[in-house]
Each structure stands twice: as C-alpha cells, then as structure tokens.
Amino acid sequence: MSELVGIWVYLAEQPLLWLTVTVGIYAIAHRLFLASHEFPLLNPVLISVASVVGLLLLTDTPYTAYFDGAQFIHFMLGPATVLLAIPLYAQARQLQKQWLPLVLALVVGSVSAILAAVAIGWMLGLEPALLISLMPKSATTPIAMATSEQLGGKASLTAVFVIFTGITGAVAGVPLMRLFGERNADVKGFALGVVAHGIATARAFQHSDKAGAYAGLGMGLNAALTALLVPLLAWLLGLY
C-alpha cells in the first residue's frame, strides 16, 4: 500500500497526469456508450464528469491542481468551436432557405429557456442574485458567466447551472424528441444547440453531421441572443 501511495504522489506532481486521466476516462466512457447502443444515461460526458469529480474527491486533489494539468483541453475548446463552421458551411444552402423558421425557433427557445429558469427559481424561493445566476444557463459558459456577473449574479454558480443544463440536454434531449415523434436531424440539432449549448452539440454530432451543424448554429446564435435578453428580462422582472 505504501508503494502505491508513493507512486501516486510521484504521478500527482507530473503536469500531464490529469490530462491523461481525463482523456483516458472519456475514451473508456465513449466505448461504454457505443457498446450500450448509445443508452442515454451512459452519455460519455456525464460519465466522464462524474468519474473525474469522484477521483478528485477520492484523492483530495484541489481543482486548481487538476486544471494545471488538464488545461490543454480547455485551450482546445476555442479551436473546436471555430471548427464547427466547417459542417455549418456544408449546410449553407439549406440554411438560407430556412432562415425565418430558424429565427423564430431561436427567439422562442431562448426566451423560454430564460423564463423557465426564472419560474423554477421563483417556485424554489431563490433570491434575485441566484435567479440572475440561473437565467443564462442555456448559453455557453464564458458568455453565461460574464452576463451573470455583470448583473450581480454569482458566476461560479452560473457555471454549475450551465454544465448541468448541458449534460441534461445531452442525456435527455434526443430521447425526448423521439418520444414526441420528431425525426428531422436539423430540428433536433438546432433545438439541442439552443437549449443546451456545447455539451449537447457534441451529442448532436454523435447523431449525425447535419444535426451537429444545426446544433452549432443554434449554440452560437443563442449565446449572442442570451447576452442581450438576460439583462432586458432581468430589468423587466425587477431583479436588479
């Protein structure tokens, strides 16, 4: 046992340990997801997050130490987001024909996501600062955190809500739309991107390239619209 502890202490001091652990856990989770025929509750993002958090708690490793080793993954989020433009470009002609329903769906989806968050928060008796923290939950993390912080919300709590929303959308989004009879990849993809940002967009790409392209479009447009709507709706609702 003492030898294992010594090995762990040595490995914990290496900068690439947590990068390797994160990638390794995701690779295993993804194989498990495919082996289960894409069972929703075995979503690789959900399994990976739960596994990494559990490992950090088990080893009493602070998040800062983890991030120092795994920050390369965080860096790659930027290039990965830019690369979403490639499948989006492939759908350019179809997007031009659908601009009106896409705009309407974007506005309805964005407003509904914000107001639903406020309604749930009110029913739970949350104070205004927490309601503001909850409002931008369907936008990407950087925009959601910045919007929340500028309005007096708690950015760190907003990040938790954003991640929870993304995982929930990735796990339940496609099964729910199948349950209601929706079969169009563009509809499912756009809805996932608007409601549950990048994590659900990754799930949409597992469904099909077309669904992923529409999810990427929905994610980007909703991020911009959320940054405009949250301050307006928060002011109208008297939250600040």
Name the pLDDT band for 232 (thresholds 50, 70, 90). very high
Range among 2-6, 62-66, 126-130, 209-213 with highest mean pLDDT value: 126-130
Backbone φ, ψ for residue 136 (5° rounding): -90, 25
Q: Rounded CA gap, 208 and 176, in Å?
A: 17
Q: Rounded CA gap, 42 and 203, in Å?
A: 12
What would the pLDDT profile of 165-217 be if each residue is shown by its tens digit? 988 888 888 788 888 887 788 888 888 988 988 888 888 887 778 888 888 88
Instruction: Average the pLDDT over each of 5-14, 19-28, 105-114, 129-138 and give the range with the smallest value.
Output: 5-14
Give 208's DSSP letter: -
Q: Per-residue pLDDT averaged across 100-115, rounded?
A: 91
More confident site: 107 or 74: 107
Average of per-residue pLDDT values in the chain: 82
pLDDT at 12 over 70: no
Name the pLDDT band for 10 (thresholds 50, 70, 90). very low
pLDDT at 117 over 60: yes
More confident site: 88 or 120: 120
Q: Per-residue pLDDT averaged across 109-116, rounded?
A: 92
Q: Per-residue pLDDT averaged across 222-237, rounded?
A: 91
Q: Rounded CA gap, 84 and 226, in Å?
A: 20
Contact 17, 11 (CB under 8 A): yes
Contact 145, 158 (CB under 8 A): yes
Q: Rounded CA gap, 48 and 202, in Å?
A: 14
Instruction: Average the pLDDT over each of 43-47, 101-105, 193-197 and give the range with the smallest value.
Output: 43-47
More confident site: 78 or 56: 56
Quote the pLDDT of residue 110: 92
Name the pLDDT band for 119 (thresholds 50, 70, 90). very high
Quote the pLDDT of residue 7: 46
